[in-house]
Structures are given as structure tokens and as C-alpha cells.
Chains A and B, each alone.
Chain A
Amino acid sequence: MRLTLKIWRQENAQSKGVMTTYPIDNISPDMSFLEMMDVLNKELIEKGDSPVAFDHDCREGICGMCSMFINGEAHGPDRNVTTCQLHMRKFKDGDTIHIEPFRAKAFPVIRDLLVDRSAFDRIQHAGGFISVNTSGNTQDANSIPISKYDADTAMDAATCIGCGACVATCKNSSAMLFVGAKVSQFALLPQGQVEAADRVQNMVDQMDLEGFGNCTNTGACEVECPKGISLDNIARMNRELLKSKVL
């Protein structure tokens, strides 16, 4: 395949970025998108240019590190995949592909396609846990039965990989799907009940402090989420917050 890549290049956080065009040839449809980027970077290095910086690690869709906005969509046109699992067979010979970093006020660009998503970590520091110390004496794992439905629904929420596609794709840069998933996971389990009110308040406060926008329920996040995290989790979080403030 022969392609034209238009890639956002930006030297560092302070500098102004610009879209740069790179033609690329001999791309196999079996390559993953990142392997295509590897080919480009190899060419750039051999020419003495600086390679395109991008985040990636596990390359099997679970670490949440890769984060490209491809042709106007977070993680590109395929559904339920991260950028690393997007394959070139989704594109046609001769295509022009726009590649940009995930953008949001709360996700400043570090370099090229690399962004700083530490805001997500700070939201988790505020309340994304159950306060239990490590000891050999926590009660037996089977002492509290949890209905299969609740366990499965909590698991669905817990599959979030924290990649930030929801924020990147949201026209408001809202982080509610991410926060909602974590709040829901704990709200659904009996272990999470004790600090449920504090948790949702602290996490939402931190989310607001980080400068994420308001949710307008467009549902774009749910569609672009590589793990299919449901909007239901936002509803659950809204309800949890209301409960914590009103009751």
C-alpha cells in the first residue's frame, strides 16, 4: 500500500505544532497501525530526521498507552480496538491519513503525538480505591457472596484501560466515562459501599479541578471506547453523586 500521512509534529510542550506530510510506501495490510509508524520512523532515522514520538507499550490493546487521533477519531476508524490493534487493512491504497495527538485542555501535548494524561492518575489518587491495608487477615474471599450480575457488571466497568479516548473524542473533553467507570465498579460491590459517598465526591471534585468539561451525553465516548465501556456508568456516577449530596 502507498499512503500519505499527515502527522502533528510538535517539538515540546511550549513550541507550536504543525501538520507535516509524509508519503510512505510498501505498507502491508497485515501490519498494525503502530508497525506502520515503525516503518516511517525507521525511514526518518535513516534520513537523519527525528522520528515521530508516540506512546505505545503492550501492543495488544490492554495497557492503554497508545493514543492517536486518526482521521478524526480516537484510535481510528475501527471499533473496539486501540491504535495498536488497528490494522492497515482498514485503509485503502492511496489513502491520506491524518494523525493527531489526543487533545484536551487537561491533556497537554508533551511532544508530537505524546500527551500528558497524569490528570487521570490524580483523579484515582483522590478516591479510586477501597481503603484496606494489606494483611494476611482480611476476611475469606468467599465470605461475602456477590451476585453474578453485580460482579459481571462491575467487571465490565473495570475493564477501562485509562487510555483517554473518551476525553479525546468528547467535544467537551469530559472525563465522565473514565471516572464513571471507576465509581461504578466500586459502587456495585459491597466492599465499596462504606466510602462510596466520599469516593464519588472526591473523584468528581478532582475531575473538575483538572479542567475536564461537562458531559452533554452525546455518547461519542461510548462509541470510541476501545473497551466498550457503557454510558450506563455515567448514569450510575450521577446517581451516586446525587445520593451522596442529597441524602
Chain B
Amino acid sequence: MAQLFQSSIGRKVAMALSAFFLMVFLLQHFTINSLSVISPDTFNEVSHFMGTNPLVQFVLQPVLIFGVIFHFLMGFVLDIQNRRANGKSYVKYNGAANSKWVSRNMLFSGLVILGFMALHFVDFWFPEVNTKFIQGDWSGRIEGVEGYRYYEELHHRFVNPYRVGAYAIAFVFLALHLNHGFTSAFQSVGSTWGRKKVIQTISVIYAYLIPAGFIGIALFHHLTH
């Protein structure tokens, strides 16, 4: 098994496995966020559960962080290796003739998403860590708000139109990244053989609907202010 990840295909499989994990995470993140549009109360309940459940906080959250870092680092490692193998400097190279821009620029779209995650951490994750781990407040409540604080905080973040814009752009890049990454991950583990069409269809749905949904949620909160 350890041997597996020393081969080129093994590294691709590792990349794909981390991608699968991140895509599952993204799906559940999206599901919970969309509750904020449908039912703020349910959103609060679920958020509190996720924010305070020890299994989520002390097992899943570190795994998630590891997954994110692994995916990024592996992406860089593969890219460096590929550049080394490439050794080519065509005077004229017409990449557009045979492949999509996104597929050739996963590193770039990945970096944009990485930048977005910095913003996202400043917005949500650092305050959460501060509240819970530094101040030790696990109540999920703040003064002046009835019930849990989560919906109020979320709603409040999207007042600034620039932030909404930044989120929208980031999700466009996420869509691009997923547009190639979704099928690519399945291809890397060899499961596209014989079911390419199905996976491509699911890929289109997943890669466009989820980022569009996230943008929709951001816009909803911005406009309902």
C-alpha cells in the first residue's frame, strides 16, 4: 500500500482521494448553508451541533484541515514534477486546440480558491476558534440575539457588497476547478471505464449547481438585509 503512493499513478490516486473527501465536505457544507435560506432555526440547530459536537470538532475538523493541506501540497508536488518532466519550450504551443483551459490551469484556479479560503477563515473560522477555544464560550449564544448566534452572524457578513463580489468570483473559480476536477478524480481511480457519460453528467450538475447555490445564498443574505 505504501508502495502505491510512490508511483505516478499512486500519487494521482492520493490526489483523487483527497478530492473525494473535499467534495463530500463541500456537499454537506452546502446543504447546511442552504438551510439558512429555508429555515434559520434549523440552520442554527444544525450549526450548533456541528460547532459543539466533539466528534466533529476534534476528529472530523482536523481530518478536514489535513485533507485541505494535503490536496494543496500534493497539487504543488505534482505540478513541480510535471514541469520537470516536461522540459519543453515549444516556440508555438496551441493548447487550446486539444484541451480545456481549466484542465490545464488547475493550479491557478486552485490558488484562487486558496486565496478565498484565507478570506473565509478570517470571516468565519478564526472568530469561531477565538470564541470557542480562546474565550472558552461553547454556548453558541451572544447578547442581543434570541436563540443561537449563527444565523445572525452569517446574515451580517454579507452586508458588504465587495465581500459578496469576492465570494461570487471565488465560487466561479471553484466551479471551474470542479468542472475538471470532478471527472478527473474519478478517472484517476479508474472508475470512468465504461461509465464516462454518467460521471460527466453528474460532474456538470455538481460543478455548476453547488457553486451557483453558494453564490445564491450569499446574494440572498445580501439582498434580504
Contacts and interface: CB of A to CB of B under 8 A. Distances in A.
Q: Do chains A and B touch in the complex (CB under 8 A)?
A: yes
Interface of A: 6, 8, 19, 69, 71-73, 77, 98, 100, 103-106, 169, 171-174, 176, 204-205, 207-208, 211-220, 223-224, 231-232, 234-242, 245-246
Contacts of A232: 192-194, 196
Nearest to A215: B12
Contacts, number: 155
B4 interface: yes
B99 A218 contact: yes
7 A-B pairs with the lowest CB-CB distances in the bound complex, closest first: A239-B190, A72-B94, A213-B85, A103-B88, A105-B87, A238-B190, A172-B82
8 contacts: A72-B90, A72-B92, A214-B85, A220-B98, A235-B196, A236-B190, A239-B189, A245-B10
B184 interface: yes
B183 A69 contact: no
Nearest to B2: A245
A242 B16 CA distance: 13
A69 to B, nearest CB: 6
B187 A207 contact: no
B13 A231 contact: no
A241 B7 contact: yes
B59 interface: no
B87 A216 contact: no
A246 B86 contact: no
A72 B86 contact: no
Contacts of B112: none
Contact of B87 (A19, A104, A205): A104
A145 B194 CA distance: 22
A11 B5 CA distance: 40
A204 B8 contact: yes
A171 B194 CA distance: 26
B117 interface: no
A224 B187 CA distance: 19
Given A72-B92, A72-B94, A105 B86 contact: yes
Interface stretch (B62-70, B100-108, B169-177): B100-108
Contacts of B10: 241, 245
Contact of B187 (A8, A71, A174, A235): A235
B71 interface: no
B78 A216 contact: yes
Nearest to B196: A232
A238 B92 contact: no
Given A105-B87, A245-B10, A220 B189 contact: no
Contact of A237 (B3, B81, B91, B190): B190
Nearest to A219: B99
Given A173-B88, A231-B196, A234-B187, 19 more contacts: A73-B97, A73-B98, A100-B90, A100-B92, A103-B88, A104-B88, A172-B85, A173-B82, A173-B85, A213-B8, A214-B78, A216-B82, A217-B180, A217-B183, A235-B190, A235-B191, A237-B9, A241-B10, A242-B190
Nearest to A230: B196
